[in-house]
Structure 1
């Protein structure tokens, strides 16, 4: 990696943990601890993203080198770098959890390429002072899910961390997949994640909770200087503007989640990035049938705090916790409250615009709220595949009869026999309103279809698809990982040769582990 331009800004400018032993402990007055990855016994490269490699300054040839294998498996450390784990806290499922930190993530270094800065981080590379009772390692199934999902989200146009590489460690890792007392050994794996930084809401919460106000000020100044250089003015105004920027980018991220049907599954404040990008892909999932109450997380199955329909409200709640953490720098609640109050107002307005774009409607009318609400209600009357419904809706033409328009989307229904009586009447009424609404638009059928297909993906990483690639990889076959990686690079294109993946969830996947509900170890 001869072209990697090392920039150790985080470790050079912020307070380090003076204790350099890798012992699990409480860490105070520090934002990170130096720690080296655990050396894998027999690393093997499964897959690497050439796009991400180019993004950070690594050539295609270098991907196949022994140096690449050794560095991004944690076996070797890059010259002039010192790996570290970050200290942060967080609210988990609405409850204060205190110190959390990088329990199974180790930051290798920061680099600069083409005037952009990136942090390279290994997930699953061993224990850190923040691992609590865990080993800091990761297994193949969760690593495949994270590797593929981050890249899938990027190509969907959703702000996200990126994936550089996926490797086997050569070691076995003990895991209880459903936390039900049945641990088993699984293949260990390591993913290299790439982001501008891995600073979280919880990074600020940690400092404020310990009343380390000098560190809080230093950290806020550091963050604004390096990641929000456009923010100028008096310090207090900068902190307010910083919070507003984080709120705005977080809102945009959640809008994208709702647009494509993505459910994060574990929106704790330690899993929220100050960059407004999706981080920490654990028990995530895409809506199969349109169900706002669905969460993929077994830990959340009772209260469903992180269900699909509640993600905007949770984001606002998490921003409230960030506001509390920044308050000592501002000492005035009103500007923070104004930003928080406007969050849902702005979100609702943006959501309407986004939803209309999914319907191919560019203008706004007084009846649009009713049209959207009726559709969301209809989609829940019988199991209706979200991805297939919206994708096929683009085939509807202004001149279609209600029956013809309805027939173009009926493949989205899981149980066609249920679409009768009142359910069918509701759909008939909705399509009648929709067809009338299309008449108001100036777009041709063809132009509208192009615009709809640019926001309604044809292919998403359904859990059953990820699980199929995991099952094959467990047997040493990584061809499906590569096939899905290629598929998900063009989620809005037809890809006729990949048509088999444009399908509803198969019946066998309804209750299979990894396809319906997942644990945080997933």
Structure 2
């Protein structure tokens, strides 16, 4: 395996924890603690992303090298690596949780690829750190497979995301209580190598604001802008104005991100501020879920089952709430209320515009009829009525929009969508309403004037046929836990082309089977991993 070139600006330019060791402690006045991964018994490479390997300048020869599993299983370091765990805090389920930090993630370093791009390499499940609290710093195979697969699937769907290079089995058992119900059991352990330009999150700034460490807060803000937002440095010479522009850009990127989540039916499940990327990337794939039957009230997280704070239809509001917390955190440096409030208001405007633009694409419309959801004849009203029918009829979101592209405007009928309904009784209940909606929609696309083949091609480019449904991931997990990891690679291969129909892979495009409706891992999940 070839060596990589490292330029570790985070640890080179920011202050670190003066105390050594993995023992749990409160870390003050520092952005990180130096800590190396804890070696594992028998690291074995189970799966990898060839696209991410290529980003880093690696090829299959490197991946097949025995040293690769040693490095990305946490047993060895490459020259130039400077491993650390980051210090941050966060609001969890709406309440300030204090210091959190990388409790089981260890960044190996920042590598510069042959094209001059910077990529952080981070091992999740690499052992205890000073931020592990009462945990062991490890991760189980099931959650590692889910993160590995979904990170790459989201990229191929066109959703901003962190990436995943590799999935390595540790050869060790990890004890977990999957649903926090007193039934802990040993499970196979694994480590994912996550890859992103930066893993800085909202919580990195919140921790210093909460402690009154304002000089360090300003240092981190300016470092983040300089390293991760170079276009702002070039465009704005005044540091004070540059910080404002930076927050505006964070708000904009976050709005675009959430609109993409809604477009493809993704539910993060645990949108705490420590799980929000400063770059507007999907980060920390924990108890996420994929909407099968359309339901704005659905959350995949068992911990969130009562309040449903992080439910599908609430994600845009939660993202803005999280941005408010970031605004509060950076205010001591910005020292102006008005520009922060303007940026937060702009978030809502950008999200609404992006959500509308993406829905227009999903419906195959060249134009958008203005008006609110209650205004007859507006496209917003058309969408609102559709969502109501889909929820009441228990309609599969992915299959419905994919089938909509093939609707014959001259003969719109609900039978065209039979494969998208989960319950025959509920289908009958909404049948007349759906027929009426389809006639309105057919009239709308005829009015829009675009030729059917062009409309179909445009819709199929934004409405995926293949998404990482929970039950598909669980099937791959079940096989891997029985010693056959090939299901992971097979699933990822399909998800590389989510918008292109792939012959012989119809099973990956089917609605959720009845057996998966309440099966653990296929519907509700916990934060336990």
Taking structure 1 as the reference length, the TM-score comes to 0.98
| Aligned position for 2:105 | 105
| Aligned position for 1:346 | 350
| Aligned position for 2:245 | 241
| SS at 1:129 equivalent | coil
Q: Deviations over 1:142-179 (max 9, x none)?
A: 00000000000000000001110001111111100001
Match of 1:402 among 395, 412, 416: 412
Where do 1:109-188 residues align within 5 Å?
A: 109-113=109-113, 114-188=115-189
| Aligned position for 1:383 | 394
Moved beyond 4 Å, runs of 4+: none
| Aligned position for 2:380 | 369
- CA distance, structure 1, for counterparts of residue 426 and residue 297 of structure 2: 20
Match of 1:314 among 300, 314, 318: 318
Per the TM alignment, residue 77 of structure 1 is displaced from its structure 2 partner at its CA by 1.3
| Aligned position for 1:43 | 43
2:479 maps to 1:469? no
Contact 2:5–2:80 at 8 Å: present in 1 too?
A: no
Per the TM alignment, residue 56 of structure 1 is displaced from its structure 2 partner at its CA by 1.0
- CA distance, structure 1, for counterparts of residue 124 and residue 267 of structure 2: 21
| Aligned position for 1:455 | 462
The more displaced of 406-415 and 241-250 is 406-415
| Aligned position for 1:426 | 433
Q: Which runs of 5 or more residues in structure 2 are unaligned?
A: 371-377
- CA distance, structure 2, for counterparts of residue 241 and residue 455 of structure 1: 30
| SS at 1:74 equivalent | coil
2:332 maps to 1:328? yes
Where do 1:25-36 residues align within 5 Å?
A: 25-36=25-36
| SS at 1:118 equivalent | strand
Where do 1:47-86 residues align within 5 Å?
A: 47-86=47-86
Contact 2:168–2:191 at 8 Å: present in 1 too?
A: yes
2:309 maps to 1:305? yes
Where do 1:430-449 residues align within 5 Å?
A: 430-449=437-456
Equivalent pairs counted in the alignment come to: 518
Where do 1:487-506 residues align within 5 Å?
A: 487-506=494-513
| SS at 2:183 equivalent | coil
Contact 1:176–1:183 at 8 Å: present in 2 too?
A: yes
- CA distance, structure 2, for counterparts of residue 117 and residue 261 of structure 1: 30
| SS at 1:230 equivalent | helix
Q: Deviations over 1:254-280 (max 9, x none)?
A: 011000000000000000000100010
Match of 2:267 among 260, 263, 267: 263
Per the TM alignment, residue 81 of structure 1 is displaced from its structure 2 partner at its CA by 2.3
- CA distance, structure 1, for counterparts of residue 56 and residue 457 of structure 2: 33
Contact 2:3–2:79 at 8 Å: present in 1 too?
A: no
Contact 1:410–1:416 at 8 Å: present in 2 too?
A: no
Contact 1:26–1:99 at 8 Å: present in 2 too?
A: yes
| Aligned position for 1:411 | 419
- CA distance, structure 2, for counterparts of residue 164 and residue 92 of structure 1: 28
- CA distance, structure 1, for counterparts of residue 427 and residue 280 of structure 2: 40
Taking structure 2 as the reference length, the TM-score comes to 0.97
Per the TM alignment, residue 3 of structure 1 is displaced from its structure 2 partner at its CA by 4.9
Contact 1:266–1:297 at 8 Å: present in 2 too?
A: yes
| SS at 2:463 equivalent | coil
| SS at 1:173 equivalent | strand
